[in-house]
């Protein structure tokens, strides 16, 4: 149900490519997901554990489909290469 929730970070692109890339990368970085999961485990907070697991699963699924962390140059420029039909 919440697997696609991290993509809401793309709303940041409404404020420009720099803010959009920052927001997207924060929501799709595996280290952030691991840190949130660890905080949840250390504090015994189940919903933080779940949120971290969802973030990690979503980021992993994005990588499978070729979507990487974004550069400030624009949405289609990622650390895995360009995405989209005109690459």
Angle 58-48-16 from CA coordinates, rounded to 5°: 50
At 50 the three-state DSSP class reads helix
At 81 the three-state DSSP class reads strand
Tokens of 69: 């962390």
pTM of the shown model: 0.85
For residue 74, is it within any domain? no
Distance of CA 24 to the CA centre of its chain: 5
**Domain interval for residue 63:** 6-68
For residue 87, is it within any domain? no
DSSP letter assigned to residue 4: T
For residue 31, is it within any domain? yes
Q: pLDDT tens track of the chain, all 87 residues? A: 799 999 999 999 999 999 999 999 999 999 999 999 999 999 999 999 999 999 999 999 999 998 989 999 988 888 888 887 776
């Amino acid at each position: 149900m919440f697997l696609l929730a991290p993509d809401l970070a793309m709303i940041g692109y409404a404020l420009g490519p720099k803010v959009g890339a920052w927001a997207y990368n924060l929501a799709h970085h595996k280290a952030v997901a691991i840190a949130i999961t660890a905080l949840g485990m250390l504090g015994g907070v189940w919903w933080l554990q779940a949120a971290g697991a969802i973030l990690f699963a979503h980021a992993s699924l994005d990588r499978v489909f070729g979507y990487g962390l974004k550069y400030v140059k624009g949405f289609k420029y990622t650390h895995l290469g360009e995405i989209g039909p005109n690459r």
